[in-house]
Structure 1
Amino acid sequence: MNRDYILRIAEQFGRMLAIVLRLRKFNRHEEALIAIDEYLIKMTGFSSSLINSLSERDLIKALSPLGSLNIEAALWAAVLLKTEGETYEEMGNTTESYYRYVKALHLMLYTLFEEPRSAETELFEDVEALLKKLDEYDIPQETKQLVFRYFEHQGHYSRAEDLLYEMLDAAPNDPIIREEGEQFYQRLLTKTNSDLQAGNLARDEVEEGLQRLRTMQ
């Protein structure tokens, strides 16, 4: 995905979202939801009701008709779901907004790791905004794994470690999470002391964390 292509998508995003934002500004939230649904069908082939009936894993499969993620459709779905969540939040429906935010976050992070060059867009800002909105809520384990990878990618090593043990508390015998934790600490041991300090971890904390992980029952 080249930069010009990403910019064209971003321009389309801007035009469509401007219409939705205008409707929300004048408290025409039901019309905004209808517009979002129409955009979802046009850009992904799926309605809002269908997308929101799927689990995060099944949504990824639905957006991967040829076996690999349709990056453009995933980006559209993520941004429109975030906008839909904001609309429901403004309507006072935090339950519906929560589910949209989780799906949007999952899609954004999955896309960032599937197609790193998509980070040339403003996705990082959207990810941070969604993390803030979901800060007081629990999120699905699979989404937490993506957030864990994101924190490490961004150099937030202490936050990644905290989330690792949160996942292990929920599933202490999950071999995938334990293996990810082991590899995480091994990668950190290759970092310089200044890199670790920038991520709010000291080398001895990394070594202690690795030992703790290995001795967990």
Structure 2
Amino acid sequence: MVNKDYILRLAEKFGRTLAIVLRLRAYDKHEEALIFIDEELFRTTGLTSSFLNTLDEQTVVEALSPLGRPNIEATLGTALLLKAEGEIYEAKGNTHESYYRYVKALHLLLHLHLHAPIEDAEDIREEMNALIRNLDAFDLPRPTRQLLFAYQEHRGFYATAEDTLFELLESTPRDATLLQQGREFYRRLDLKSDADLAAGNFSREEVQEGREQLQRFE
């Protein structure tokens, strides 16, 4: 189990790095900021930004998981630096480049969440929430949306998790694995108290309605 204090120390370390990026941007030194991010990515991972951005999300995960599990520092650093890079491209009006960096950053953070308590660090949790908001109006790759579903349930956002589940089912309505995940989702919700469900903007009646809707996909 990854120690929470280790995550907090990493958050503080990368916070200092991102503060340098913000200072450069404050003086309109966007190109210098991009160069700095590229250097930090290479120092952290041995990979450049241009190379990372030629890879799909799962390949980036694999590149940062040399022993089959994510290198926590490299994965977290890559995600935060790609997000910062995306913000620069967005500020320059290049939403195409910002989108792909945001997606990679979110995918890495959601994947890392499965292995380390990164949401315990408030700064990292806010970075994740900002990415989710930034990408709300865009389509997400299926693997990223599946990770988002798991994250939303873990955080107790049951209504939004259900929305994500049915968005996935709309695109692949007869996916047996996804249908099983849906059945397990509602079984877990059955075990929640009414107060827990209400905190997740959900109710006992909506659990039953959701299960019935899931059966229609079957």
CA distance in 2, matches of 1:14, 1:57: 25
Are 2:169 and 2:217, in contact at CA under 8 Å, matched by a contact in 1? Answer: no
CA distance in 1, matches of 2:206, 2:14: 43
Per-residue CA deviations over 1:164-199 (Å, capped at 9, x if unaligned) read 111100111122211111111110011111211221
Question: Would the alpha carbon gap of residues 196 and 4 (structure 1) be closer, same or farther in structure 2, given more than 3 Å must change?
Answer: closer
How many Å apart are 1:4 and its aligned residue?
3.9
Question: Would the alpha carbon gap of residues 203 and 4 (structure 1) be closer, same or farther in structure 2, given more than 3 Å must change?
Answer: closer
Question: Would the alpha carbon gap of residues 183 and 89 (structure 1) be closer, same or farther in structure 2, given more than 3 Å must change?
Answer: same
Higher RCO by CA contacts (8 Å cutoff, separation 6 or greater): 2
CA RMSD across the alignment: 1.3
Matched, 1:119 2:145: no
Per the alignment, in what secondary structure is the counterpart of residue 187 of structure 2?
helix
Per the alignment, in what secondary structure is the counterpart of residue 172 of structure 1?
coil
Which ranges in structure 1 are unaligned for 5 or more consecutive residues? none
- 1:186 is matched with 187
Per the alignment, in what secondary structure is the counterpart of residue 155 of structure 1?
coil
CA distance in 2, matches of 1:195, 1:206: 12
Per-residue CA deviations over 1:96-146 (Å, capped at 9, x if unaligned) read 011111111111111111112x33322211111111111111111111111
Moved over 4 A (4+): none
TM value normalised by structure 2: 0.94
- 1:171 is matched with 172
Which ranges in structure 2 are unaligned for 5 or more consecutive residues? none
CA distance in 1, matches of 2:78, 2:67: 18
**Identity among equivalent pairs (%):** 53
CA distance in 2, matches of 1:85, 1:135: 15
Letter of the 2:151 partner, please give it.
Y
Matched, 1:5 2:6: yes
CA distance in 2, matches of 1:146, 1:153: 11
Instruction: Kindly tell me the number of residue pairs found equivalent between the two proteins.
Output: 216
TM value normalised by structure 1: 0.95
Letter of the 2:161 partner, please give it.
A
